[in-house]
Amino acid sequence: MNPPNVEENNRSAEADPAPDPAWEVRSVLEDRGLYWLLHPPRVAIVGVPNVGKSTVANQLFAQERSITADLPGTTRDWVGEIANIDGLAVMLVDTPGVRQTQDAIEREAIERSREQVGAADLVVMVLDATRDLSEQRDLLAAYPSALCVMNKVDRPKTWEVPDGGAWIQTVATTGSGVDRLRDAIKRQFLGTGPFDVNQPRWWTRRQREILELGLKDPSALESVVAQPRRGARM
């Protein structure tokens, strides 16, 4: 029998380092894909009046769920319904156009819609390419992390997308660009790559709490795994 090649074994060990458990736990924690598939995320559509917000919503609903008209204030209350975004169910919320108004009913609807937007997991902001951007700048400042949609790009524009802005350009009346919007919404929750069903994921708060505990104290994680509660739902 030939003696073991110590140098070769050392090189093999260096080439295949042991996985870092903490890194693996962090990777699982960061992947919320399965959670979002089982718990539909809330997506709120916002914009000033008459930017085509409700038309964009209807395209995403794939039906005329929100009433549309050229008259400001047509959407008097938020409209929420499950929409199928390329296989991902989302609670899509269309909100009244944000503006200063003397109409008490519309003003109350706008105030109530702010609660819906505040509870959203993603805000989609629709802006009108044909109107002065200064009219819409306050809304941009209010939701800096929103997914921005530049609508009515088939007409003469009064402004251009800011440098470095990953905005989606649409013509909501025809559906142009809406597929890109659907893809962008889906990527926000499921990522950009294919959904690997063999990848470990969490989907309950208890599972997430156990993983977070394991990052702080690996021995605690081993204890939970070794002695699961009988009949408990992870």
Query: How far, in Å, CA of 16 to CA of 37, rounded?
Result: 34
Residue 46 lies in a domain: yes
pLDDT of 143-194, one tens digit each?
A: 999 999 999 999 999 999 887 677 999 999 999 999 999 999 999 999 988 8
- Supply the DSSP symbol for 231: T
Report the pLDDT value the prediction gives residue 74, as an integer from 0 to 100.
Answer: 44
Residue 220 lies in a domain: no
pLDDT of 110 strictly over 90: no
Residue 126 lies in a domain: yes
Residue 24 lies in a domain: no
Query: How far, in Å, CA of 124 to CA of 46, rounded?
Result: 6
Nearest alpha carbon to residue 126 among 76, 60, 187: 60
Residue 5 lies in a domain: no
Report the pLDDT value the prediction gives residue 73, as an integer from 0 to 100.
Answer: 45
CATH of the domain at 140: 3.40.50.300
pLDDT of 16-63, one tens digit each?
A: 565 677 888 889 999 999 999 999 999 999 998 889 998 999 999 886
Q: Could you list the residue range(s) of the whole structural domain that residue 67 is in?
A: 40-190
Query: How far, in Å, CA of 169 to CA of 149, rounded?
Result: 6
Report the pLDDT value the prediction gives residue 113, as an integer from 0 to 100.
Answer: 67
Residue 79 lies in a domain: yes
Quick one: average pLDDT of 216-223?
A: 71
Report the pLDDT value the prediction gives residue 157, as an integer from 0 to 100.
Answer: 94
pTM of the model as a whole: 0.76
Pairing, β 147-151 against β 42-46: unpaired
CA atoms within 13 A on the CB side of 90: 30
Structurally, the chain folds into a number of domains equal to 1
pLDDT of 76 strictly over 50: no
Residue 142 lies in a domain: yes
Length of the chain (residues): 234
Residue 204 lies in a domain: no
**Sign of the C-alpha dihedral, residues 64, 66, 70, 74?**
positive
Nearest alpha carbon to residue 109 among 96, 99, 121: 96
- Supply the DSSP symbol for 49: T
Report the pLDDT value the prediction gives residue 158, as an integer from 0 to 100.
Answer: 94
